[in-house]
Amino acid sequence: IHRGELKYEGKAKRVYASSNPAEYIVEYKDEATAFNAQKRGEWAGKGATNNAITAHLYPKLEAAGIPTHFIEKLSDTEQRVKAVTIIPVEVIVRNVAAGSFAKKLGLEEGTALSRPVVEYCYKSDALGDPLVNTDTAIALDWATETELTRVRELALNVRDFLTPFFLERGVKLIDFKLEFGKLPDGTVILADEISPDTCRFWDAETGEKMDKDRFRRDLGGVEDAYAEMLRRVTAPVDG
Ligand code: C5P
């Protein structure tokens, strides 16, 4: 398998064409950005850690009945995925109030929600990923109503799988961001990564943050937190 033309470069990943037109090769970079790239950093091994975490979780999601773009891990920092057209909507699922949701609503971080909240943001670096609703996404032809119904259903299925998965590993899944894509036949599948860059993970015992908030908020210990998340995700669980 050879990398072809660079199709897309994001803040943490590059997407290349592959020798098979139905597939892409995704490369995870060591760069970290926050606040729409106003804050930048990088550390050796970040890409490999996020690649490994994503590559471990995606087959489990597939086994749980969630269709995804993942095919296989190719190297430390690369994976083979199905080529999709990305729906330009970032889908955020929240179990607990934190981050922008807590701030916007004047809630203390950690405030319980009586059911999960699904939010949608328009995927636009230039605009800083503004919050939108499904009417907006439909009216601007980013996706159809049927596709968005499926996106919401899959996002909640991902949440239903991941929440107990992480809790068994001593981690509270506070919130996370997903992206979805469409195959040529129109099937909606899960794409992109699931990693400490895209989730909030709090240690179930101590409440300690084990995710990108350590970088965003200059809390220190970022590398250790990512490494510990990889360890917990991949370690066997008792019982
Ligand atoms: O900042 P906010 O509270 O809206 O983030 C919610 C969740 O979505 C967090 O887990 C964050 O890491 C993730 N997120 C992301 N990419 C973005 C915005 C948020 O992965 N562009």
Residue 65 and residue 38 share a domain? yes
Instruction: Indicate the residue among 25, 54, 82 that finishes a domain.
Output: 82
Q: What is the average pLDDT value for the chain, to the nearest integer?
A: 97
**What distance in Å separates the CA atoms of residue 42 and residue 55, rounded to the nearest whole number?**
21
- Percentage of the chain modeled with pLDDT above 90: 97
Token reading at 57: 């979780």
Q: Is there an atom of ligand 1 within 6 Å of 90 CB? A: yes
Gap from CA of 24 to ligand 1 centroid (Å): 25
Say what the pLDDT of residue 78 is: 98
| Ligand 1 closest atom vs CA 98 | 3
> Measured in Å, how far apart are the chain's first and last C-alpha atoms?
39
Binning pLDDT at 50, 70 and 90, where does residue 2 land?
confident
- Domain assignment present for residue 149? The answer is yes
- Domain assignment present for residue 42? The answer is yes
Tell me, what's the ipTM? 0.98
What's the whole-number mean pLDDT along residues 95-111? 98
Please give the full DSSP string across 68-129, using - where no structure is assigned.
Answer: BSEEEE-SSSEEEEE--EEPSEEEEEEEE--HHHHHHHTPPTT-EEEEEEEEEEE--TTTT-
**E strands in the chain:** 6-9, 13-17, 23-28, 31-34, 39-42, 70-73, 78-82, 85-86, 89-96, 112-122, 131-132, 171-182, 188-191, 199-203
Coil vs helix vs strand at 164 = helix
Range(s) of the domain holding residue 220? 85-224
Q: Check which CATH number belongs to the domain holding 179 and give it.
A: 3.30.470.20
Gap from CA of 215 to ligand 1 centroid (Å): 13
Residue 97 and residue 215 share a domain? yes
Q: Check which CATH number belongs to the domain holding 42 and give it.
A: 3.30.200.20
- Domain assignment present for residue 67? The answer is yes
Token reading at 26: 């995704």
Q: Is there an atom of ligand 1 within 6 Å of 198 CB? A: yes
Q: What is the pLDDT of residues 18-63, one digit of tens each?
A: 999 999 999 999 999 999 889 999 999 999 999 999 999 999 999 9
Binning pLDDT at 50, 70 and 90, where does residue 239 land?
low
Residue 145 and residue 166 share a domain? yes
Q: What is the pLDDT of residues 118-171, one digit of tens each?
A: 999 999 999 999 999 999 999 999 999 999 999 999 999 999 999 999 999 999
What's the whole-number mean pLDDT along residues 3-16? 96
Binning pLDDT at 50, 70 and 90, where does residue 238 land?
confident
Residue 102 and residue 78 share a domain? no
